[in-house]
Amino acid sequence: MLALVALSVGATLLIGFTTKVFDVAFYIKVAISIPLAYAFAFCTLQYSRERKLEEEYAFKSNISISLVPYKDLVEKMIDPKSAEERLKYTSFLIDAIKEVYTSPTSKIFDREPETSADPEKALKRLSKTLEIIVKPFEPFLNAIRK
């Protein structure tokens, strides 16, 4: 990721320093850095998804290991003769098992297509990304224009 950022910034600076006339060729050269910015954003997104999945799996793994001791603890706490408490105990076990064996990918990836399918949100994200990319170069570009 760091290499992509360095390559993108380096290519943009090289183009900026070697160009004296801001014509169509200049903008075509600057457009070369757009795929690098996209690659950086893609890698960052994939890394964040991977981190979320790893955290979710680690949490579920810890919970599944501790299910048996919790089951035994709750079993000791309830009165086995009371139907109401046995019902609570059974529903607790069923809910715990459902939660542990629910795929964490559905929580992470099912929400993504809804947000990316909305054109307004996509444009807002694109404008924020472009603003972040262009903002550090504003003084440089202003100095070149003068």
Is 34 a residue whose pLDDT tops 80?
no
Cβ-contact 26, 19 below 8 angstroms? yes
Which one has a higher pLDDT value, 19 or 68?
Answer: 68
Could you read off the pLDDT of 92-111 as tens digits, one per residue? 888 877 777 776 666 666 55
Given pLDDT bands bounded at 50, 70 and 90, which one contains residue 87? confident
- Predicted confidence at residue 108, as pLDDT, reads 63
Q: What is the pLDDT of residue 39?
A: 79
Residue type, 96: A
Contact assessment for residue 78 and residue 85, using Cβ atoms and an 8 Å cutoff: yes
Predicted local distance difference test score (pLDDT) of residue 114: 46
> Mean pLDDT throughout 51-56?
86
111-123 residue pLDDT tens = 544 444 567 777 7
Residue the block writes with tokens 């014509």 = 23
Closest CA relative to residue 75, chosen from 84, 66, 86, 67: 86
Contact predicate 22/7, CB 8 Å: no
